[in-house]
A and B are shown apart, each in its own frame.
Chain A
Amino acid sequence: MTSERKLRVLLAKPGLDGHWRGVTVVSKALMEAGMEVIYVGNQTPEQIAEVAVQEDVDVVGLSILSGPHLKLIPKVVKLLKEKSAEDVLVLVGGVIPKEDIPKLKKAGVHEFFGPGTSTKKIVEYIQENVKKT
């Protein structure tokens, strides 16, 4: 009987945004759901992509409340693609106006979980959508 590999999730804050409450509660919920969570705090897009590949993660979750999401998030996705990590599920949370979500999805973000989302919804989404190799 093979033991099933735990889902590996990288959680990061792209850039310098100082709000860590959302990413903390998501980390806890994912850990309680049996996932391996690597939280790296504030990192540049380059650093995030680097760690994602090094740690061979299944999911990258980005949390940003400071405003420059349309600049920073597409950079992360682009770098993941360049490093051949296209299969990684890219999820975003934070303070992001609804009208920006289609732009982020076009850039490669799979889903956005805004203020008021339940962590249960995020866990379920990951379990249903992650690409298992």
Chain B
Amino acid sequence: MFSKEELDNIRKKEEEWLKICEGWKERKEMFKTYSGFPIKRLYTPLDVKDINYLEDVGFPGMPPYTRGIYPTMYRGRFWTIREVCGYGTPEDTNQRLKYLIEHGETGLNIVFDYPTHNGYDSDNPDFEDEVGYGGVPVDTLLDMETILDGIPIERMSTSLINSPFVAQSIFSMYLAVAEKRGLDFRNLYGTNQNDFLMWAVFCSSSNVIPPRPLHKLTVDVVEYCTNHVPKWHPISFAGYNYRETGINAVQELGLVFANAIACIEEMLERGYKVDQFAPRLSFFLSAHNDFFEEIAKYRAARRIWYKIMKERFKAENPASYTFRFHVQTAGSTLTAQQPLNNIVRTAYQALAAVLGGAQSLHTNSYDEAICLPTAQAVLVALRTQHILQEETNVTSTVDPLGGSYYIEYLTKEIEKRVFEYLETIDAMGGLISAVEKGWVHSEVSKAMIERQKAVEKGELKIVGVNCYQTEEEIPVEVFRPNPMAAEAQKEKLRKIKMERNNEKVKETLDELRKACEKNENVVYPTFKAVKAYATIQEISTVFREVYGIWTRPLIF
């Protein structure tokens, strides 16, 4: 972008400037990004001299998409405001969803409770204590009907935060509701999380099936959507959750891309062409604390995805190589101490996501480290996004930080390191092998431990925790999900099991078992089973019985 003569002149001036700097003391010996990249005092054209504008930066909506996946980005349409919601009974969640829509959210984001994610019913005596706490319980189709009651799913897109183990059941239930409403599946918009890495590594759990069959179940949903629900995102590689463990931006991107590659390879193995399904693969990233690094991360991600899809998989449809992503601001950075500070953290993180070109955003509530969001807290989280959209004017031009010497340099560095990370995973035989070997678990434990040490040494500063602590406490209202949720669900289950056609249920479960044994797509028989009001535990038990239980590697 600069001629050799200009660069020489800049270099000479820089030498002069460095001499002046010698008289100025700095706060630290070394400045680093969260991911460990050394940060220079200043970035100049010299740092981006090898970057070619058209090849590396380009225009939004055109390869390599560094500046954005659409030509007009937020000038055309704001990102979707999509707050996570789910607790208590399906009725409670339905009410909160309506509250969020009334107060300006533009997409749904439903999270299910732990027993549901694990394929256990609310009347399971081992797990009934946990019903309705981490999300909303869904035992049968009735619960999905209740959650969506009065909600215009034909007009709104719905993100279903479903574990890879029950995504087939939960998604089938959503489709069954759509079917009952006479909606054409081809016009349904939404996302399944359905990420096998979540269950194989990032969520601890008991009684998990092994990674390979788990992966197979997730790809069944991709395949089903490719054929029947073409506008739906069947999978959302959940880098946000990976990042919450303490890994860095390079690892976050490396793992989501390795995961996407494993999914694509399986679909190709099944005989599909990449352009048939790749346009609907989607990503879910964190908006963490290091403001500029996060922005560079999103830009790098777009360029990396373009290169992977074009060079590795020879995609031809531009929709296959545009990187679509939802962002959540980083929950693990929020503190129980001085909780109102979390509003500020979330605002900065949300700004990074917007400057980075996210398609959809969830902002955390300030009580994140204490409880599920109260209505008041989630309203502030919503307004954080409304203020960004309506008051800051950052949305009036596309990729405003493009051309910043620091941002372009960092974007390139991150890209380079991510490709190196992918090579490491490839050398192990791909992500699933890396999981089986315990390598991913080990990467994660290491990161967890290192981060904690950095906090305890005071290297990683957390306001209110290891600096600027206060004695006085600002009381915050504690949200309590409905303590009667388990009882309510148990009663529903009792009734359903009496009223449904139990013969039919048994038939559908037998069909599901046969499909598993014959390695066929499980979504078809699952869809039949949920319509017969089979329970999530009845369906998941089939998977556990056919695929067996895996002992996760424990690495310290």
Interface set of A (CB-CB < 8 Å, partner B): 13, 15-21, 24-25, 27-29, 31, 39, 41-44, 66-68, 71-72, 75, 95, 97-99, 114-116, 118-120
Contacts and interface: CB of A to CB of B under 8 A. Distances in A.
Given A21-B246, A24-B448, A95 B371 contact: yes
Given A17-B134, A95-B371, A68 B456 contact: no
B452 A66 contact: no
Interface in B427-464: 445, 448-449, 452, 456, 462, 464
Nearest to A98: B473
A14 to B, nearest CB: 9
A42 B465 contact: no
16 contacts: A16-B118, A16-B120, A18-B205, A25-B448, A28-B449, A29-B452, A41-B206, A41-B554, A67-B133, A67-B481, A95-B369, A95-B371, A97-B370, A116-B335, A116-B464, A120-B456
Contacts of A42: 204-206
A15 B128 CA distance: 10
Interface of B: 114-115, 117-118, 120, 126-127, 129-130, 133-134, 202-206, 244-246, 332, 335-337, 369-372, 445, 448-449, 452, 456, 462, 464-466, 473, 478, 481, 552, 554, 556
Given A16-B115, A28-B556, A67-B371, A116 B129 contact: no
Given A25-B452, A116-B337, A71 B114 contact: no
Contact of A27 (B120, B204, B556): B556
Given A13-B204, A17-B114, A28-B556, 16 more contacts: A15-B130, A16-B114, A16-B120, A16-B130, A16-B205, A20-B203, A21-B245, A21-B332, A24-B449, A39-B554, A67-B134, A72-B129, A98-B473, A99-B478, A115-B369, A120-B456
Given A18-B114, A95-B369, A43 B448 contact: no
A72 B134 CA distance: 14
A69 B114 CA distance: 14
Contacts of A41: 204-206, 552, 554
Contacts of A67: 130, 133-134, 371-372, 481
A66 B133 contact: yes
A117 B452 CA distance: 10
Contact of B203 (A18, A99, A115): A18
Given A21-B244, A115-B335, A116-B465, A15 B371 contact: no
Given A27-B556, A99-B478, A20 B130 contact: no
A39 B466 CA distance: 28
A29 B448 CA distance: 12
Contacts, number: 101
A43 B206 contact: yes
Contacts of A18: 114, 117, 202-205
A119 B204 contact: no
Choose among A24, A41, A118, A120 the residue with the greatest number of B CB atoms under 10 Å from its CB: A24
Contacts of A44: 126
Choose among A19, A21, A44 the residue with the greatest number of B CB atoms under 10 Å from its CB: A21
B206 A66 contact: no
B129 A68 contact: yes
Nearest to A118: B456
A75 B130 CA distance: 13
Nearest to B551: A41
Contacts of B456: 118-120
Choose among A67, A75, A114, A119 the residue with the greatest number of B CB atoms under 10 Å from its CB: A67
A17 B465 CA distance: 24
Contacts of B556: 24, 27-28, 31
